[in-house]
Structure 1
Amino acid sequence: MRQNLKTTLAASLTAFLLAGGAQAQTAAACGGDLGAFLEGVKAEALTRGVSADVADRALAGAAIDQKVLSRDRAQGVFRQTFLEFSKRTVSQSRLDIGRKKLNDLAAVFGRAEQEFGVPGPVIAAFWAMETDFGAVQGDFNTRNALVTLSHDCRRPELFRPQLIAAIEMVGHGDLDPNGTTGAWAGEIGQVQMLPKDIIEFGVDGDGDNHVNVKQSAPDAILTAAKFIQHLGFVKGQPWIQEVSVPDVLPFEKTGLQPGMKASDWFALGVKPRDGDTAFGNLEASLVLPQGRKGPAFITYPNFNIYLAWNQSFIYTTSAAYFATRLAGAPPYERGTPEEGLSEDAMKELQTKLQAHGHDVGKIDGILGSGTRAAIQKEQLRLGMPADGWATPALLAAL
């Protein structure tokens, strides 16, 4: 499951909150007898124009999957560093396969860029990161996963609309309620998309009058391209660019925060490794995944589509870097990052930051955005380079 399911589930939540009367009560219904719950789901599907026959066929044999609940309760968060995670995910094997896919399916990727403005490497990188180019799509029954998460009262307002959309897909002939499998949270196919997104952005890429994102690479590629366009990708603009940084810099301005253009960073001595400064007029952030001595990147507005796809800073930066590699960029310069903190030491640091009045969220040992922001403020106060990287030196200083 993408860690946020931001676009679709946020929209579902907004719709739920804006709904009124019986409609809101229906959307909130959860728990209790499974049969009665499914009758309520069927009734709602009928209001969406689904026939009773399709709804019955979609829900026949539906069951609660305890493994889905276990996964939902134990969602992991990225604990690896950028160097660790990107080394594992952006492997030479994946790069080789990705380049071959871009070549073999050049016509499809060309159509994706022509119609939706999304370059092939961007799509191929997500394809690799999500399912290893379709090889690992998940083995959870999609219908049952969505029934489980809709019936569970933790987040029914997020998953019930996905269940209704899945029933609609059954009516379209694009989902087999008993046979379609995917991720535990209901995502389907080679780029792991949710039913509502497949219905809204689905493209029949192979001309068979179906959107089959599991078996059809053209369908998956073009559907992903249309979805990425919807997330705000601007044709012809970069998304991330590796740079080198000088020793002296207003590091407190680094990180995913507004207020700077790429040209501002270039004027301060930040240098693109490829020498390309053509997009200096664009808003840009300087991100340092492992501090000022590790890899460094300028992120442009198109990077926002990665954040919409997944909230994890490590995932998004790795996926964006992966796309640049497929587009021809060389491997990043590893640099010599300062030693980081263990999980226990990170929790200790978070506790100290909290004691200094910073909101770091949950004390979880994760170097997330809240913790990075708090670190920068304390580094600045202590006269350290405020690059947001958690080090033993900072922990000792606090």
Structure 2
Amino acid sequence: MGVLKRVSLAFVLGISPVVAMAQCGDSFNAFKDGLQAEAVAKGIDASTARAFLAGVRQDPAVLKADRAQGVFQRPFIDFSRRLISQNRIDTGRVKARQNASVFDRIERTYGVDRHVLLAFWAFETDFGSFQGNFNTANALVTLAHDCRRPGLFRPQAIAAIELYAQGGFDPRTTTGAWAGEIGMVQMLPQDILTNGVDGDGDGAVRLKTSAPDALMSGGKMLQHLGWRAGQPWLQEVTVPAQMDWSLSGLSTTKSVAEWQAMGVQARQGALSDLPASLILPQGHKGPAFLAYPNFNVYFDWNQSFTYVLTAAYFATRLAGAPVYDAGNPDAGLGPDQMKQLQRKLQARGYDVGKIDGILGSGTRGAVQAEQQRLGMPADAWPTPALLNRL
């Protein structure tokens, strides 16, 4: 599921997206020359950078994959049912037992719950069984050269050269996802440089073949991103038939006591005494969750709301939570209708990002604002009724 990874990585390496944008789209060979010069300026030996880039080729299949992410147009119920199977649950429990000592170390060292990593391991590579067959060097440089997201991928290409200089990357044979992620939990080169861990003690970080290395590295990365030890991330709740739905969404955070006063209750167990946001992925008639501070860390792993919510929910399932109550949500919009809605919202001055038919954060916020303006339940779930009103 390597997609929509962190967009602030250019700033991590001190490279402005404006600088990267000025160099994208040049001839591919000239672009590689620019990467080589940048790598040398960062202290990498010129012959090493040249050797890395010598065989790198532009990969049209990578660009095709980058443009074809229709799976994220699916609503949460459909998407989560597609990704979460009984086989994945059963396999996750087997993997938890097989790697119990590794997960014990992760929880003790980094404070990251094992079920969170199990869910990523399942979704990213089916527990390591399919890690992608794209040449990683080609993928990263192709995406860095492309002018759609150079601020994300140019720093990753430089990081891959640095990994090569350290002996941890072979530009000819290293393969992974189309977006440049490597290994069982799919980490980008900069993340490997920062958070790679030799979990099995063999003197090398091998994210493709060593589960201890991959899982320990993933745990360290989540801690680095701000994961809070011992705290929950997501909990299913029930909501009353009527309340101020405009308070739902990640932009609003309230205490559990405040949510309870409005009629929000845990579907199982007790609510945690932490600030939380009410998430209604398919409106007030569908599933409902409270998202705790750790939930926000997920967006530093992947920026798709639907993927993040599904991964977080799957982790709770692996930890013993029941299947969510799907409720009876209002009918949503198809991809073409969603694009039509996005154009209408954009015409009204809202920043919905790319017209892609995906219900992202910008579109959700605009939908909620328009629902509130029109006196409709402001639950951020776009319906044909809203589209017709607009």
TM-score (norm. length: structure 2): 0.91
Does 2:372 correspond to 1:373?
no
Q: 1:124 aligns with which of 118, 136, 153?
A: 118
* Identity across matched positions, percent: 57
Q: Equivalents in 1 of 2:207, 2:354: separation in Å?
A: 36
Which residue in 2 is equivalent to 1:172?
166
Q: Equivalents in 2 of 1:237, 1:379: separation in Å?
A: 34
Q: Equivalent residues in 2 for 1:288-367 (5 A)? A: 288-354=280-346, 358-367=350-359
Q: Equivalents in 2 of 1:366, 1:128: separation in Å?
A: 23
Q: Equivalents in 1 of 2:349, 2:28: separation in Å?
A: 46
**Conserved? CA contact 2:238–2:267, under 8 Å:** yes
Which residue in 1 is equivalent to 2:16?
17
Which residue in 1 is equivalent to 2:102?
108
**Conserved? CA contact 1:137–1:182, under 8 Å:** yes
Which residue in 2 is equivalent to 1:4?
4
Which residue in 2 is equivalent to 1:245?
239
Q: Equivalents in 1 of 2:333, 2:282: separation in Å?
A: 11
**Conserved? CA contact 2:345–2:352, under 8 Å:** yes
Q: Equivalents in 2 of 1:307, 1:40: separation in Å?
A: 31
Look up the SS of the partner of 2:14 in the other structure: helix
Does 2:219 correspond to 1:225?
yes
Q: Equivalents in 2 of 1:391, 1:35: separation in Å?
A: 48
Please state how far the C-alpha of 1:160 moved relative to its aligned partner. Answer: 2.8
Q: 2:279 aligns with which of 282, 287, 298?
A: 287
**Conserved? CA contact 2:139–2:179, under 8 Å:** yes
**Conserved? CA contact 2:238–2:288, under 8 Å:** yes
Q: Equivalent residues in 2 for 1:113-152 (5 A)? A: 113-152=107-146
Please state how far the C-alpha of 1:369 moved relative to its aligned partner. Answer: 2.1
Deviates more, 1:29-38 or 1:58-67: 29-38
Deviates more, 1:192-201 or 1:384-393: 384-393
Q: Assess, with a 3 A threshold, how the Cα gap between structure 1 residues 71 and 99 changes in structure 2: closer, same or farther.
A: same
Q: 1:161 aligns with which of 155, 165, 171?
A: 155
**Conserved? CA contact 2:2–2:124, under 8 Å:** no
**Conserved? CA contact 1:2–1:309, under 8 Å:** no
Q: Assess, with a 3 A threshold, how the Cα gap between structure 1 residues 296 and 36 changes in structure 2: closer, same or farther.
A: closer
5+ unaligned residues in a row in structure 2: which ranges?
Answer: none
TM-score (norm. length: structure 1): 0.90
Which residue in 2 is equivalent to 1:192?
186
**Conserved? CA contact 2:31–2:145, under 8 Å:** yes
Q: Assess, with a 3 A threshold, how the Cα gap between structure 1 residues 158 and 263 changes in structure 2: closer, same or farther.
A: same
5+ unaligned residues in a row in structure 1: which ranges?
Answer: none
Please state how far the C-alpha of 1:40 moved relative to its aligned partner. Answer: 4.1
Report how many residues are paired: 390
Q: Assess, with a 3 A threshold, how the Cα gap between structure 1 residues 261 and 31 changes in structure 2: closer, same or farther.
A: same
Please state how far the C-alpha of 1:357 moved relative to its aligned partner. Answer: 5.0
Please state how far the C-alpha of 1:344 moved relative to its aligned partner. Answer: 2.9
Please state how far the C-alpha of 1:56 moved relative to its aligned partner. Answer: 4.2
**Conserved? CA contact 2:7–2:151, under 8 Å:** no
Task: Give per-residue Cα distances to partners, 1:170-217, cap 9 Å, x unaligned.
Answer: 233322221110112211111111111101100000111111111111
Look up the SS of the partner of 2:15 in the other structure: helix
Q: Assess, with a 3 A threshold, how the Cα gap between structure 1 residues 140 and 101 changes in structure 2: closer, same or farther.
A: same
Please state how far the C-alpha of 1:359 moved relative to its aligned partner. Answer: 4.1
Which residue identity is paired with 2:357? G
CA RMSD of aligned residues (A): 2.5
Q: Equivalents in 2 of 1:50, 1:381: separation in Å?
A: 56
Look up the SS of the partner of 1:15 in the other structure: coil
Please state how far the C-alpha of 1:73 moved relative to its aligned partner. Answer: 4.2
**Conserved? CA contact 1:261–1:284, under 8 Å:** yes
Which residue in 2 is equivalent to 1:385?
377
**Conserved? CA contact 1:234–1:302, under 8 Å:** yes
Please state how far the C-alpha of 1:331 moved relative to its aligned partner. Answer: 0.9
Please state how far the C-alpha of 1:129 moved relative to its aligned partner. Answer: 1.1
Look up the SS of the partner of 2:224 in the other structure: helix
**Conserved? CA contact 2:2–2:177, under 8 Å:** no
Please state how far the C-alpha of 1:267 moved relative to its aligned partner. Answer: 1.6
Q: Equivalents in 2 of 1:72, 1:283: separation in Å?
A: 36
Which residue in 2 is equivalent to 1:92?
86
**Conserved? CA contact 1:254–1:387, under 8 Å:** yes
Deviates more, 1:362-371 or 1:219-228: 362-371
Please state how far the C-alpha of 1:292 moved relative to its aligned partner. Answer: 1.0
Please state how far the C-alpha of 1:108 moved relative to its aligned partner. Answer: 0.5
Look up the SS of the partner of 1:298 in the other structure: strand
Which residue in 1 is equivalent to 2:270?
276
Q: Assess, with a 3 A threshold, how the Cα gap between structure 1 residues 295 and 147 changes in structure 2: closer, same or farther.
A: same
Q: Equivalents in 1 of 2:385, 2:17: separation in Å?
A: 49
Deviates more, 1:102-111 or 1:365-374: 365-374
